[in-house]
Structure 1
Amino acid sequence: MADEEDTKTVQFHEMGLDDRILKAIAKLCWLQPTLIQEKAIPLALEGKDIMTRARTGTGKTAAYAIPVIQKILSSKQLATEQCVKALVMTPTKELCNQAARNILELTNSCSREVRCIDVSGQVALDSQRPLLMEQPDIVVGTPSRILAHLKAGNLSLKKTLEMVVIDEADLVFSFGYEDDVKALMDYLPKIYQAFLMSATLDDDVKALKRLLLHNPVILKLEEPQLPETSQLAQYHIKCQDEDKYVLIYTLLKLGLIRGKTIIFVNSVDKCYRLKLFLEQFGIPTCILNSELPVNSRVHLVDQFNKGLYSIIIAADEVALDDPTQLKKQKQKYKKDKESGISRGIDFQHVSNVVNFDFPTDVDSYIHRVGRTARGTNHGTALSFINIDEMKKLEEVEEALSDIHPDGNSVFKPYNFKMKEIEGFRYRAKDAMRAVTKVAVREARLKEIKAEILNSTKLKSYFEDNPRDLEVLRHDRSLHVVQEKQHLKNVPDYLIPPTLRQNRRELGRKKRYNKSQTRSQSWNKAPAKGHLRYMKRKADPLKSFEFKGFGNKKRKK
């Protein structure tokens, strides 16, 4: 009996939460808490400082957001004035936006009692001053932005602050916020409750622990760094660099990669090179990197989650993980250091992650692949490996051995015969000739200018007209490379024999569905526009068609 009680999951309604929070949880369709939520929420409600390590996609945001909201609601019963009670800091603007959105979802039934604002946006400090003067209960922002508001006198935390949260704590120092966090300590009260949420417990997190926490509870959940093989299938293809383009084109065009997909590359240049390559075959893609304005990045992720786009090409840049690299490189384009793509961002219902370029270290691989197979969803990770990347692959295999304690490799070879796609290679080479350095440079400039314009529109007009956001698309062709119509279709002779039968069956189904649609539409009266079109078509002067001769032989 004792063992059954220990293994029984504590449900949300058994944690003593406010009914308004439970109502919001029910609206979000969360049936039961995740492991981190089950362990962290009761401890947080007891007032303990918490440092937790849990892999991405396990619900760390709700693990701190729920107790923060609960404690604010409890204090409201005796409060005599409105004041800032909680401070939430994350290393990137995208994560700030995501955290604020999650908090708003959890306060859906108590939005009048608990107010939250995100101050991470790229706007003047003075424009956010009126919002902070209203003393919101929760303030979300990056450490540098919070510090700027404190120095400007827009925010005061000494007397009222009760809770401090740092999400993705292992990235805070690597993004260059060490001095900001230390300077922030002078503006915080001596006593407060703190939460450090992280995917790893490295030296940076331990330094933050000494700086912020007081006798904390450390939660190290006994779980693998990535989901088990039944939920996440990991494949690799060993190939040369030039073969990567042939492979990605073939896999996408033949429908072997289906569903929402994130393709990771290691540089911004590679982002545009791959986009220009794929758009010649009629494959629309979006680009996500640190050069784009934050409003556009947030909007793109939001629209991707809603299913408006299927493929994102994301630059997981080394410079973002190691800001010292920025000084060594000549920067032609301005990058946003408060931007992160492989870490933390809640990409929803991602079916596939493709490592076009293999990540530089184990942590990067874990965080990239963690974008798929989140929660109870299943996912696939496919990595293209060249000879130089074999050593990195072995390091990842060794680090992920906890998923396969029996000694088997976590990676399965993707059974793909390169000989069967030789016909695609000629097309790929033809398309790659057009993707020159000049074309890439023009594409980068054109995309950045367009997104700056979109970002301005997003900031002003679309705040009042949210439905019109659908008009702004991020997957349009850049048109800096000449389009070749013959590349957009795949003739039957190029399709591998094993896939031809499947394609024929799909073709029969489509033809059958079309004939069914036509037969169903016979009984319907023609629209007025269609009648006008038919009348115009019958007039040879308007339709430019003359059917007098047809195929008949001329009479002598």
Structure 2
Amino acid sequence: MPFTSLGLAPSLAQAAANLGFTAPTPIQAEAMPIVLRGDDLLATAQTGSGKTAAFALPLLQRWLSTPPTTGTRPLLTLVLVPTRELAAQVGEVFRSLAEPLTRRPKIVVAFGGVSINPQMMALRGGADIVVATPGRLLDLIDNNALKLGSVQHLVLDEADRLLDLGFADELGRLLAQLPPRRQTLFFSATFAPAVETLANSMLQDPERVEVPVVKSDVAVIEQRVFEVDDKRRTQLLRQLIKDHGWERVLVFVSSQYAAEHLAAKLHKNDVFATSFHGGLSQGARKQTLQEFKEKRWDVLVTTDLASRGLHIDQLPVVVNFDLPRSADDYTHRIGRTGRAGESGLAISFVTAASAAHWRVIEKRQGLSLPREQYAGFEPIETEPAGTHDPEGTGGIKGKRPSKKDKLRAATAAQKPND
């Protein structure tokens, strides 16, 4: 099926081909006609499925259909993302797709952690498309650098994270400044029930697109589980890297401190490792990520900051040194490998203390993986008593809405035009 059969202009179909999209992916095939029609959309698809192009291509076409303006450009398309890295990545996709067009939109990417002045300068004369994190967007609005009254298309990329508690207040302030009549698009790999309730309250008769995980794609990522004592996880990680000759490994831990601590321990033991987390400056994060992509680091120890929105070509291995807090985060983490049809390996360390936690992840992900023991690292610790409850949560973030979830849902329901 060619892109033009979906209603896409030949120039944009060629732009998609230039980025390696010779034919629409399932999410693109289903979502693009809806976006072109102007309907609201709630879309879920696995990571690495081409979600960004699924909204960028039709929104560029919608922009091309508007007459050129003289003077200040009105902001027509606003894309909200949760992290700086994802903002830069989405902005780059828009720019790459717009490159071959004879008429090009002005695209501005804005995020925190860097000086606001260059972003304010970039917004002089307006912008056609803005990709931003919520906090920095509010800063720009407070500094009168842009207004949202002309927005016709709103995209929430990684919407489940944007609608999480940490962004609820910022989103509420932003939505209050948007025109009530607009197209709203939600894209994410996962939607928890409480988040979906909020999403539905913000959408107007939305179309729903759910692209199931294709079995052939699942097989691309081999998932393995190793039982290990808590204090021997670092040694096991080093041994795995040595025995298998892994040249690039993305290792997930639970906190910024853990990222710094583990990276330092690995580096001290001749493993070329560094940390990547939200406590670093934007400049340091950008440099570290680029160095890892260029294979100047063997191991990148990170928090869930890197679990979404990052595309690293030919990343062979992901390790859950600490298990993720939620089952959905497990999906996002392992989705960093096995991208673009390449094979990948996802390894999880399970200790006696985290065994119950892992059982819940397995249950919610529909997994049943054999527990392996690596020679020389057979565990001696035993699981704490009382953690074998099959209906327990294992300490994992649950699906049942919390009191805060219910409060946010009630607030959203009272403001249907926000």
Is TM more than 0.5 here?
yes
**Aligned position for 1:417:** 375
**Which amino acid counterpart does residue 289 of structure 2 have in structure 1?**
V
**Which amino acid counterpart does residue 173 of structure 1 have in structure 2?**
L
**Which amino acid counterpart does residue 270 of structure 2 have in structure 1?**
G
**Aligned position for 1:182:** 172
SS in 2 for 1:309: coil
Q: Which of 153, 157, 160 is the equivalent residue of 1:167? A: 157
SS in 2 for 1:266: coil
Q: Does 1:105 align with 2:96?
A: yes
- What is the Cα-based RMSD across aligned positions, in Å? 2.3
Higher relative contact order (CA 8 A, sep 6+): 2
**Aligned position for 1:70:** 61
Q: Contact 1:226–1:370 (CA<8 Å) still a contact in 2? A: no
**Aligned position for 2:232:** 243
**Aligned position for 1:345:** 310
Question: Deviation per CA, 1:242-293, whole angstroms, max 9, x where unpaired?
Answer: 2212211211123x15242101111223223322222233221121011101
SS in 2 for 1:275: helix
SS in 2 for 1:187: coil
**Aligned position for 2:270:** 282
Q: Contact 1:55–1:226 (CA<8 Å) still a contact in 2? A: no
Q: Does 1:15 align with 2:6?
A: yes
Q: Which of 55, 75, 83 is the equivalent residue of 1:92? A: 83
Q: Distance in 1 between matches of 2:20 and 2:33?
A: 21
Question: Are residues 54 and 61 of structure 1, via their aligned partners in 2, closer, same or farther at CA, if it must alter by over 3 Å?
Answer: same
Mapping of 1:108-119 within 5 angstroms?
108-110=99-101, 113-119=104-110
Deviation of 1:89 (Å):
0.5
Question: Are residues 307 and 71 of structure 1, via their aligned partners in 2, closer, same or farther at CA, if it must alter by over 3 Å?
Answer: farther
Deviation of 1:123 (Å):
4.0
Deviation of 1:363 (Å):
1.8
5+ residue gaps, structure 2, are: 379-418
Q: Does 1:232 align with 2:197?
A: no
Question: Deviation per CA, 1:166-224, whole angstroms, max 9, x where unpaired?
Answer: 1111111325222222222332223211111122222124313313x211101122336
**Aligned position for 1:332:** none
Deviation of 1:419 (Å):
7.1
**Which amino acid counterpart does residue 243 of structure 1 have in structure 2?**
R
Q: Distance in 2 between matches of 1:345 and 1:71?
A: 27
Q: Distance in 1 between matches of 2:209 and 2:191?
A: 10
Q: Which of 109, 131, 138 is the equivalent residue of 1:147? A: 138
Q: Distance in 2 between matches of 1:414 and 1:111?
A: 57
Question: Are residues 240 and 35 of structure 1, via their aligned partners in 2, closer, same or farther at CA, if it must alter by over 3 Å?
Answer: same
Question: Deviation per CA, 1:311-370, whole angstroms, max 9, x where unpaired?
Answer: 211133xxxxxxxxxxxxxxxxxxxxxxx2222222332111111122233122222111
Question: Are residues 302 and 32 of structure 1, via their aligned partners in 2, closer, same or farther at CA, if it must alter by over 3 Å?
Answer: farther
**Which amino acid counterpart does residue 376 of structure 2 have in structure 1?**
M
Question: Deviation per CA, 1:516-553, whole angstroms, max 9, x where unpaired?
Answer: xxxxxxxxxxxxxxxxxxxxxxxxxxxxxxxxxxxxxx
Question: Are residues 111 and 130 of structure 1, via their aligned partners in 2, closer, same or farther at CA, if it must alter by over 3 Å?
Answer: farther
Q: Does 1:222 align with 2:212?
A: yes
Deviation of 1:374 (Å):
1.9
SS in 1 for 2:138: helix
SS in 2 for 1:388: coil
Q: Does 1:120 align with 2:108?
A: no
Question: Are residues 111 and 194 of structure 1, via their aligned partners in 2, closer, same or farther at CA, if it must alter by over 3 Å?
Answer: farther
Deviation of 1:298 (Å):
2.5
**Which amino acid counterpart does residue 169 of structure 2 have in structure 1?**
D
Mapping of 1:319-334 within 5 angstroms?
none
**Which amino acid counterpart does residue 93 of structure 1 have in structure 2?**
R
Question: Are residues 224 and 361 of structure 1, via their aligned partners in 2, closer, same or farther at CA, if it must alter by over 3 Å?
Answer: farther
Question: Are residues 49 and 351 of structure 1, via their aligned partners in 2, closer, same or farther at CA, if it must alter by over 3 Å?
Answer: same
Q: Does 1:270 align with 2:258?
A: yes
Question: Are residues 29 and 88 of structure 1, via their aligned partners in 2, closer, same or farther at CA, if it must alter by over 3 Å?
Answer: same
**Which amino acid counterpart does residue 193 of structure 1 have in structure 2?**
Q
Structure number with greater Rg is 1
Question: Are residues 156 and 373 of structure 1, via their aligned partners in 2, closer, same or farther at CA, if it must alter by over 3 Å?
Answer: same
Q: Distance in 2 between matches of 1:129 and 1:417?
A: 57
Structure with the bigger percentage of helix: 1
Q: Contact 1:57–1:374 (CA<8 Å) still a contact in 2? A: yes
SS in 1 for 2:66: helix
Q: Contact 1:24–1:105 (CA<8 Å) still a contact in 2? A: yes
Q: Contact 2:46–2:212 (CA<8 Å) still a contact in 1? A: no
Q: Contact 1:234–1:412 (CA<8 Å) still a contact in 2? A: no
Q: Distance in 2 between matches of 1:242 and 1:124?
A: 41
Question: Are residues 419 and 247 of structure 1, via their aligned partners in 2, closer, same or farther at CA, if it must alter by over 3 Å?
Answer: closer
**Segment of structure 1 superposing worse, 287-296 or 112-121:** 112-121
**Which amino acid counterpart does residue 59 of structure 2 have in structure 1?**
V
Question: Are residues 275 and 364 of structure 1, via their aligned partners in 2, closer, same or farther at CA, if it must alter by over 3 Å?
Answer: same
**Aligned position for 2:188:** 198
Q: Distance in 1 between matches of 2:350 and 2:47?
A: 24
**Aligned position for 1:496:** none
Question: Are residues 232 and 195 of structure 1, via their aligned partners in 2, closer, same or farther at CA, if it must alter by over 3 Å?
Answer: same
Mapping of 1:469-548 within 5 angstroms?
none
Question: Are residues 225 and 85 of structure 1, via their aligned partners in 2, closer, same or farther at CA, if it must alter by over 3 Å?
Answer: farther
Q: Contact 1:150–1:187 (CA<8 Å) still a contact in 2? A: no
Q: Distance in 2 between matches of 1:111 and 1:242?
A: 59
The size of the alignment, in residue pairs, is 376
Q: Distance in 2 between matches of 1:107 and 1:376?
A: 25
SS in 1 for 2:55: helix
**Segment of structure 1 superposing worse, 375-384 or 110-119:** 110-119
